[in-house]
Amino acid sequence: MLNLRFQPSKIPHIVVVGDIIVDHYVWGVSERLSPEAPVQVVEVCEENYRLGGAGNVADNLVALGARVSVCGVVGADEAQVWLLARLAQLNIHAQGVLVDPERPTCKKSRVMISKQQVLRVDRESRHAISPALEQEILEIATALLDQADALVLSDYNKGMLSARLCQTLIALANQAHKPVLCDPKGKDYSKYSHATLITPNKREAQIATGLEINNDARLQQALEHFKQTFHITIPLITLSEQGMAFLDHGNLVKIPTIAKEVYDVSGAGDSVIAALAFCLALGFDLHQACAFANASAAVVVGKVGSAHATYAQVLEFLQRHYYQGQKILDRATLGHILHGAQPKRVVFTNGCFDLLHRGHVYYLQEAKKLGDILVVGLNSDSSVRALKGPKRPIQRQEDRAFVLAGLECVDFVVIFEEKTPLELIRALKPHILVKGGDYQGKEVVGSDLVDEVVLIDTLEGRSSSRLMQKIQGLVCKPSSKPNS
């Protein structure tokens, strides 16, 4: 299971080398056929541009929170002007984006009607870039690799990634013990030899291996072919609506898709390799990285056009669709989920919850009714001792959190170390702060940070202190049994 923990202390630097594409979208409506030919007449409503190819990989990495440098070749045209401006806007290091006036910037224009693509027009050159440009790209990428955590080779078969360039960069990354991930194209995968990971889709894998992948045995055979023939450390094949598959110590592992709605699959492969590179650069294991990448792709295909998934969107998706039982989260991770969620009313309350009783359950159920998401801030063991003395808590924080997470009305539990939840409230930004009715007329910590403070009356005669007194009375009561 993927451990949902955000690592804010490290921002990975990832170098992307490959074919940079401008995706041009023409959005329109069509209500009639042309009198000139049996084709639709499209009335244009809107046009926009997005990064595609290696640019889309870079865009996805930025959305996840990485620092990105990109290397590629563009033309001296209008598309190049927009592309460089967009890279600058995203703070993507673009020193390695070189201009070749002899070739156009690769541009794909798509005509969209009612979220459906009806036509695509490509402007591109598939000829290999010049030896001089290749050498300059190599020198820039080599320098960038010194400070990078991972390398991505994004191959769209537009002449950018030659065998020499790929093999030189892969060797450099391997020498520096940095993962190198390749999104391959074509039949000959020898130029990706010794890469850490490759991500062909099923159709690409069939072309490269000559195998018809129609069952698990053939799927494993294709993966083993990549590993044995090209010495790929982690051969992986994306399977569209069936998820993805990879080899783990010779065993076939399949991760099923979790996409609920599919509007557009364009860019999903870019999202997958970006997510894998991000996770491997942070030190996630392969299973964690694949689960995260699978969720990232699911978010992307639920959008129209080349799109990206933010870290918060991926975490929220995993929480909703994949790991619904994982309620106990750290402050940073929960903050990312809440801030990346669709507009929802977040209710927050806090306490020690040392001995959970009916009064607690009633209070939490009433709190949940006030909004969409109920977050319980739980005082840590040290925090409880500071508030209630050295004999408390009775139960460890892990046990108290587990019991709270078992309540249907509780969506998330987060443990905090401070005496008050002020900093936790500041980080999570809830809309409603809930306290017990005994706070009437008292100052409520964090009340200035929320939209509303609600006091809920507690049930008469139900309290942890009263319950503990009763238990202590039973333990201390002298036995009436005669001495034997």
278 closest CA partner among 448, 152, 116, 429: 152
Q: Which H helix or E strand runs over 423?
A: helix 422-428
Q: For CA atoms 284, 18, 67, 330, give the dihedral sign.
A: negative
- Using DSSP bridges, classify how beta strands 93-99 and 106-113 pair: parallel, antiparallel or unpaired: unpaired
Please report, to the nearest 10 degrees, the dihedral formed by the alpha carbons of residues 55, 60, 61, 67 taken in order.
70
Residue type, 429: K
Roughly how many angstroms between the first and final C-alpha of the chain, as a whole number? Answer: 56
- Using DSSP bridges, classify how beta strands 106-113 and 20-33 pair: parallel, antiparallel or unpaired: parallel
The stretches of 430-463 forming alpha helices (DSSP H) are none
Residue 309, classed as helix, strand or coil, is coil
**Which positions are catalytic?**
270
- Burial class of residue 301 in the structure, from the number of CB atoms within 10 Å of its CB (0-12 exposed, 13-18 middle, 19+ buried): buried
**In what side-by-side order are the strands of the sheet with 412-416?**
412-416, 373-379, 346-351, 432-436, 452-456
Residues in the chain: 484
Contact yes or no for 431/346 (Cβ under 8 A): yes
Residue 32, classed as helix, strand or coil, is strand
Token pair, residue 479, equals 């036995």
Contact yes or no for 359/459 (Cβ under 8 A): yes
β-sheet bridge partners, residue 376: 349, 413
